[in-house]
Structures are given as C-alpha cells and as structure tokens.
Structure 1
Amino acid sequence: MNFPINPLSSAMSALNSLAAQASGGTKAAGNTDTIATGAVTGQSGAASVDSFASALKSSIDKISDTQTHALSEAHAFEIGSSNVSLNDVMVDMQKANVGLQFGLQVRNKLVSAYNDIMNISV
C-alpha cells in the first residue's frame, strides 16, 4: 500500500506554478508601480490569487480526507473488521500526521510572509 503524499505533491506543484507566474510577471513589467497595481487589480493578479486559493483549499481538503480515511480505518480495526490490518492503520495514521504537519508548516510560512510584508515601510 504505497501511495504518494498527495497534499505535499499538489502543494509543491501549486507553489512552483505560482513562482513561475510571479517571475513571468516581474520580467514583463517595467516599473514597480505597474507591478504593484497589476498584482492587486490586474486580471493576471486575480487569476493567480484564485489559483493559489483553490490550490490551498484543495491541499487542505486532501489533508482532511486523509485524516478521515485514517480514522475510519482505525475504527474498522477497533471493531474487528477482517479486511483491515494493523499495518494499514499505522501507515494511514502516519500519512495523516505527515499531511497535517505539512499543512501546519505551510500555514506558519504564510503567516510569517504576511507579517514580513505588513512590516515593510513604504
């Protein structure tokens, strides 16, 4: 039962695509005023915000689904279901734990980045 950690791979691909969009946007714009107003009011800025929000929501949903699945496997094992082994329960619980820890680290980085941006003097 080897499954890749889906929240990790989807979050990393979303971050890579956002990084590619960000680097493309800064090269195309000539001055900082257009970069700042384009990121807030431009269509490409709105699209990247929507894609980031949807990628973040998708990752959180996958973490939640993994935890729900792990808890249902554990419950099935506890009541004595014959098709659930202890190994599967332990692996699923560890996957859920890793997904949760990853989500917490992403949240911490986002809060830290937000605080850094808010502390920039203009």
Structure 2
Amino acid sequence: MDEMGINRVLSEMRALQARSTLPAAAPAPVAGTEAPQRSGFVDAMRDAVRGVNDRQADAARAADDFQLGRGDLATTMLKMQESGVAFRAAVEVRNRAVAAYQDIMNMPL
C-alpha cells in the first residue's frame, strides 16, 4: 500500500470516528470498590506508541553516551535492538489494523 492509500484510510477512519454518535460505555461500579479507570483501544494505542518512542529515545541517549565514552557497547547495542524490535512490532500492528479496517469497509451491507 502506498503513502496516499494509507493517508486515505486514516482520513476515512477519522471521519467515521467524528460521525460516531455512540456514547462511551463505562462498566457499572461494583459495591465496595473504586470505579475502574476508563480505558479503550485509543488509550492502549497511545500508550504503545509512547512506549516505542521512549525506547527510541533511550537508544539515542545510549548511543550518544557511547560516542562520548560514558557507556559500554553491549548496553548500547541492546537498547538499539530493543528499539528496533518495538518499532517493527508497532508497524506490524498498524498494518494489521489498516487491513482489518479495509476488510470491514469492503463488506457488503
């Protein structure tokens, strides 16, 4: 899928979200317990993207420290590999979400 196709799909997703009139469903609190925090797909994705960003920032700091002689090679390489794996996983999740969206949009009514 090319860049324009991805942008088109994302804009369609945003338009559908803007048109949605369904209220957010909150679970009923159980007597004697605190009300649970609301969480959803958007919150999970936001946390995942922040986690990937944090790993990339840690890897960049480790590389800078290594270049300045303050870090060791093994730690730097480990952080860089962790960052790369996290990024590839995030891209794969995005690709599958876009594919699922396309499957739903192509379903006959």
Cross-structure match for 1:108: 95
Q: What TM-score, normalized by structure 1, do the two folds share?
A: 0.60
The 3-state SS of whatever aligns with 2:89 is helix
Alignment partner, residue 105 of structure 2: 118
Separation of aligned partners in 1, 2:21 and 2:80: 41
CA–CA distance in structure 2, aligned partners of residues 43 and 91 of structure 1: 41
Q: Which structure is higher in helix share?
A: 1
Residues 12-55 of structure 1, C-alpha deviation per residue, up to 9 Å, x if partnerless?
xxxxxxxxxxxxxxxxxxxxxxxxxxx9625428xxxx511001
Q: TM-score if structure 2 supplies the norm length?
A: 0.66
Residue 56 in 1 paired to residue 56 in 2?
A: no
Aligned pair count reads 79
Comparing both chains, which one has the higher relative contact order based on Cα–Cα distances under 8 Å and sequence gaps of 6 or more?
1
CA distance in 2, matches of 1:73, 1:66: 10
Task: Provide structure 2 residue ranges, at least 5 long, that are not aligned to the other structure.
Answer: 1-19, 27-38
Q: 1:64 to 1:87 in 2, by over 3 A?
A: same
- Structure-to-structure mapping, 1:1-122, within 5 angstroms: 41-44=22-25, 51-81=40-70, 84-122=71-109
Following TM superposition, where does structure 1 have runs of at least 4 consecutive aligned residues deviating by more than 6 angstroms?
Answer: none
1:79 CA displacement:
1.2
